[in-house]
């Protein structure tokens, strides 16, 4: 990740200065040095279309640097996602031009003002410049090393304060993406457990790592069943970080690779199933971000890790498995494995009575069918928690959409020969999966399931292929508010 700094209008020592202009506006931005202001003014005199969405105009700024103008479209349509696209365009252009250092002038707009503006700019610049090339034998040569963010005129001090939070979120999201992108021949349950141990040592977190003997002792039959067909045995992690008057539990699905087991998946895009651990990686990314911010809040993270393989010891359709809370589950489809490992983790988390419980999982293709790849499904019986999470997602630049938990969905998951079955019909699959999970949180009312299957990664044939770190930004926003509100609750 390049060095992300905040600077003034001089923006010296950069290869490229980027300036965003709004459609039908002729005013020259005030956060530019005089030479750049003169060039922008001349460009606006020559053409009234410089600010139209998608417009681009490039020119020499000095003997060794260039100025590029990007059209931002209508001011009224410039939102969190538009601000991110602007920063992405700047970083992509810089990469194509082999620039080492660039300056990005943020437009005079509420999206770029104050602490929130600094937070968003740093977070977006880090996300846009992320690359995963650890396994390349020949590393890329020249690469973007420095991004100087130039806030709107007069916004410098508040903007800089926001960059502290932005840098923490960026670090957490980048680590989550690194973990998720690591291939399954390396990123086994034991490997992720080792990375979690390293984190705990660095930040003073407390950690428990349960292997098969302890999982059997605790009767965690869901994770044992899913991991039983792999020579890479399962693990269950519990981490505790920080102190404060409120305790928030985070649960993340960590299927390090998902073949589907006996109910094996089609070969097409099966390589993408290394990203079935994105929920677990997001939780670890949140812990990294919060450790840097030192929020006055106690976090407990529960991370079930298993590899779902079709071995002779694999669990079968027709098996009946008992989860940690004693509920029995009839297996209809071994590819409905995420809910099995989450059952044990949720039961453990809920038994320790947190003030709120958030769970993240790439759980269902049905949620992707419903919402596409741009947002996650939110399921919770708590209206206040839903409102808090939706607001945090909007501020964090991530999308959640609340979906129902009607009683009929739970009825669909009743089994013929056990308490529950692990797979329902094709209809309402995201909601029936959430209803299944609801049976493992006991009487805890303030809980939420986030089905992040759509936005957790970008798949085959797309730009920026790989894990996105989805969930880190929205959760940090949520936790910051929880920490602030704690004394008043």
Domain segments of the chain: what residues? 3-152, 173-488
Beta bridge partners of 377: 401, 451
- Report the C-alpha dihedral over residues 259, 265, 269, 272, rounded to 10 degrees: -30
pLDDT value for 2: 82
pLDDT value for 488: 46
Question: How many residues belong to the chain?
Answer: 489
pLDDT band at 489 (very low <50, low <70, confident <90, very high): very low
Of residues 10, 53, 47, the one with CA closest to residue 26: 47
Lowest mean pLDDT: which of 5-19, 277-291, 334-348?
5-19
Catalytic residue among 10, 81, 265, 402: 265
Residue 320 tokens read as: 């009946």
> pLDDT digits over 195-216, tens only?
999 999 999 999 999 999 999 9
Q: What is the average per-residue pLDDT within 40-59?
A: 94
Q: What is the 3-state secondary structure (H, E, C) of the chain?
A: CCEEEECCCCCCCCCEEEEEECCCCCCCCCCCCHHHHHHHHHHHHHCCCCCCCCCEEEEECCCCCEEEEEECCCHHHCCHHHHHHHHHHHHHHHHHCCCCEEEEECCCCHHHCHHHHHHHHHHHHHHHHCCCCCCCCCCCCCCCCEEEEECCCCCHHHHHHHHHHHHHHHHHHHHHHHHHHCCCCCCCHHHHHHHHHHHHHHHCCEEEEECHHHHHHCCCHHHHHHHCCCCCCCEEEEEEECCCCCEEEEEECEEEEECCCCCCCCCCCHHHHHHHHHHHHHHHHHHHHHHHHCCCCEEEEEEEEEEECCCCCCCCCCCEEECCCCCEEECCCCCCCHHHHHHHHHHHHHHCCCCEEEEEECCCHHHHHHHHHHCEEEECCCHHHHHHHHHHHHHHCCCEEECCCCHHHHHHCECCCCCEECCCCCCCHHHHHHHHHHCCCCCCCCEEEEECCCCCEECCCCCCCEECCCCHHHHHHHHHHHHHHHHHC
Can you tell me the distance from the alpha carbon of 435 to that of 432, in angstroms, rounded to the nearest whole number?
5
Characterize the bridge pairing of strands 298-308 and 235-241. antiparallel
Cα separations (Å) of 104 from 88, 150, 154?
Answer: 11, 6, 16
Mean pLDDT of the chain: 94
Task: Find all residues with CB under 8 Å of 286, minimum gap 6, and list them.
Answer: 172, 250, 299, 301, 471, 472, 475, 476, 479
Of residues 5, 277, 294, 287, the one with CA closest to residue 146: 5
- Cα angle at 26 between 101 and 109, to 5 degrees? 60
pTM given for the model: 0.94
- Cα angle at 317 between 316 and 323, to 5 degrees? 75
Environment class of 109 (CB within 10 Å of its CB; exposed 0-12, middle 13-18, buried 19+): middle
pLDDT band at 388 (very low <50, low <70, confident <90, very high): very high
- State the residue for tokens 């759980």: 363
Clarify whether 339 is annotated catalytic: yes
Cα separations (Å) of 176 from 247, 252, 260, 320, 456?
Answer: 22, 12, 23, 34, 10
Characterize the bridge pairing of strands 420-421 and 328-330. parallel
Dihedral pair phi/psi, residue 283, rounded to 5°: -60, -45
**Given phi > 0 = left and psi -120 to 50 = alpha, else beta, which region is 464?**
left
Characterize the bridge pairing of strands 146-150 and 3-6. parallel
The percentage of residues in the chain with a pLDDT greater than 90, rounded to a whole number, is 88
> pLDDT digits over 303-326, tens only?
999 999 999 999 999 999 999 999
Residue 337 tokens read as: 């494995």
> pLDDT digits over 104-157, tens only?
999 999 999 999 999 999 999 999 999 998 898 876 655 789 999 999 998 889
Residue 94 has pLDDT above 90, yes or no: yes
Q: What is the average per-residue pLDDT within 25-38?
A: 93
pLDDT value for 3: 86
pLDDT band at 7 (very low <50, low <70, confident <90, very high): confident
- Cα angle at 81 between 76 and 86, to 5 degrees? 85
Environment class of 411 (CB within 10 Å of its CB; exposed 0-12, middle 13-18, buried 19+): exposed
> pLDDT digits over 166-175, tens only?
999 999 999 9
CATH number, domain 3-152:
3.40.220.10
Catalytic residue among 113, 235, 277, 339: 339
Is residue 58 within 8 Å of residue 67, measured between CB atoms? yes
- CATH superfamily name and code, 173-488: Zn peptidases (3.40.630.10)
Residue 461 has pLDDT above 70, yes or no: no
Cα separations (Å) of 156 from 78, 97, 159, 162?
Answer: 21, 28, 5, 10
């Amino acid at each position: 990740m390049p060095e992300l700094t905040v600077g003034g209008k001089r923006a010296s020592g950069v290869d490229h200065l980027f300036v965003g202009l709004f459609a039908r506006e002729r005013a020259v931005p005030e956060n530019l040095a005089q030479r750049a202001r003169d060039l922008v003014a001349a460009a606006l005199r020559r053409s009234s279309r410089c600010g139209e969405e998608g417009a681009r105009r490039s020119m020499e700024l000095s003997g060794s640097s260039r100025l590029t103008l990007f059209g931002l479209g209508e001011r009224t349509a410039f939102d969190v996602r538009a601000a991110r696209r602007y920063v992405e365009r700047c970083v992509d252009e810089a990469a194509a031009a082999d620039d080492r250092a660039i300056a990005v002038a943020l437009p005079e707009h509420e999206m770029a003002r104050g602490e929130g503006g600094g937070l968003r700019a740093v977070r977006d610049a880090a996300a846009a410049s992320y690359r995963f090339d650890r396994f390349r034998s020949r590393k890329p040569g020249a690469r973007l090393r420095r991004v100087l963010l130039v806030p709107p005129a007069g916004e410098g001090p508040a903007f800089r304060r926001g960059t502290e939070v932005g840098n923490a979120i960026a670090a957490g999201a980048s680590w989550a993406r690194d973990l998720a992108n690591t291939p399954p021949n390396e990123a086994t349950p034991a490997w992720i457990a080792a990375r979690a141990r390293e984190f705990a040592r660095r930040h003073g977190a407390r950690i428990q790592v349960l292997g098969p003997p302890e999982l059997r002792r605790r009767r965690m039959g869901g994770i044992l069943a899913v991991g039983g067909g792999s020579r890479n045995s399962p693990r269950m992690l519990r981490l505790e970080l920080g102190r404060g008057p409120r305790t928030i539990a985070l649960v993340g699905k960590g299927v390090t690779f998902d073949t589907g087991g006996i109910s094996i998946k089609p070969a097409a895009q099966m390589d993408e199933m290394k990203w079935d651990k994105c929920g677990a990686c997001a939780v670890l990314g949140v812990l990294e971000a919060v450790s840097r911010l030192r929020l006055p809040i106690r976090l407990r993270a529960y991370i079930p890790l298993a590899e779902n393989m079709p071995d002779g010891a694999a669990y079968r359709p027709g098996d009946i498995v008992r989860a940690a809370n004693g509920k029995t589950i009839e297996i209809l489809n071994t590819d409905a494995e995420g809910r099995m490992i989450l059952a044990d983790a949720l039961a453990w988390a809920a038994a320790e009575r947190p003030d709120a419980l958030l769970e993240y999982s790439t759980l269902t293709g049905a949620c992707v069918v419903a919402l596409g790849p741009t947002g996650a499904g939110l399921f919770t019986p708590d209206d206040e928690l839903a409102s808090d999470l939706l607001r945090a997602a909007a501020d964090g630049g991530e999308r959640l959409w609340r979906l129902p938990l009607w009683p009929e969905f739970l009825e669909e998951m009743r089994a013929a020969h056990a308490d529950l079955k692990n797979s329902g019909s094709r209809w309402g699959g995201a909601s029936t999966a959430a209803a299944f999970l609801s049976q493992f949180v006991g009487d805890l009312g303030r809980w939420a399931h986030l089905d992040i299957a759509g936005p957790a990664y970008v798949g085959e044939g797309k730009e920026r292929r790989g894990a996105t770190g989805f969930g880190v930004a929205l959760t940090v926003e949520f936790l910051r508010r929880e920490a602030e509100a704690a004394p008043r609750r």
